[in-house]
Structure 1
Amino acid sequence: MASTSKKWARDLYFVSSRLYFLLILFQLPLFRFPCRIGTCTTPIEVSLSLLYANGVVPGGMVKALIYPGAVAKAIYKNNAIPSYNKLLEAYKFTNMKESHVTHDLQNLEVIVGSYLSVAGALLGLMKSGRFSLIGILLITWGLDKQVLFRNSASVVIYPTMLIALLSAFFSIRADVTKMIRFSKQQASIRNEQKQKITRVRYAR
């Protein structure tokens, strides 16, 4: 039973981690959040806008990471595929809004969660980990805090966040293995109880 549980967990991890990677890479809108480039809808936009503004990553790396999502959006909307050389202008990376330290501190959960989400998507292709799940949970809490405590109408969480949350959870192989084993044990216990009840009935 242990080997079967590990196999199921490995298969589930493989599918979930790849699905999560594609969600992040192709920039499926998960939320709406005011950021340096105006409005961000994906963890990649939040992360790269801050890293690029602070000079941590060069423009070439930014374009390489956002280009797959830009192509996917163009195909989905039946628009022309954007020019690779003009991606920074199209995403408003060359005309960012100034951000104060207090603003970043107020949205620290969303910022840190976005970093972890992007890192988890990349690392999840090689090894199971919790970065993705922690990142999504931090983003969700940060956005919920904005809505609940500050009544911010500019912050929205899309239903696609649930897909990201589930794929991030099932990409943790160890936890999924334990969950499968537990469910099998419970099913085995229920079958044994049913068999005992059946034997007692026949004995009568």
Structure 2
Amino acid sequence: MPLRLDVRKKLSSRSDRVKSIDLHPTEPWICASLYNGNVHVWNIESQQLIKTFEVCSAPVRAVRFIARMNWIVTGADDQCLTVYNYNTLERVHQLAEAHSDYIRSIVVHPTQPFILTCSDDTTVRLWDWEKNWKCAQPIIPQFQMLVLKESIVLARNGTLILSASSCSSPAQNEVTSLNRFKRRKRTDYNHKSKRDPPFRKSSV
């Protein structure tokens, strides 16, 4: 039986396609990255748009708050990882060519100065903002086929990375130890649905 959720409040606004959202941990804010290259920040309580800024002319597919630094970090189809101060909207840092293809997902470590990104270039990368945004060794899939990294999540204790992938063949999930960058587990599965169109990179 499907889970039924009661909708407490709706926030509705006309915009370009929304690619990613994030909630601020202490403020009543939600940020949304858009296909047109912009980021919007909304106040959930007042339902007002409080900040908006342009990241680039390409789709921004990932956005995250880093509340302890007063930052918003974005990843886009221009392959750049860009950081903004959300109070001043000043650009704090930009990593040009952080990946060699679209950046799909961003995760912020809960305690360490780390940002994890995944991309269509098939890698997951870890960045340390206290070491001038140095990139640790890219975490590359251990199997032979080309797999586009679609999404990543981090365990609450900050020690394990789960990366999900998709392509025209079975999807792969990997669990990687953050401490040693060693793959712990891989899961393959087929997901077939009449509603799902065939994989086309240009259409997502």
- Which structure: larger Rg? 1
TM-score, normalised by the number of residues in structure 2: 0.25
Q: Which has the higher relative contact order, 1 or 2, with Cα contacts under 8 A spaced 6 or more apart?
A: 1
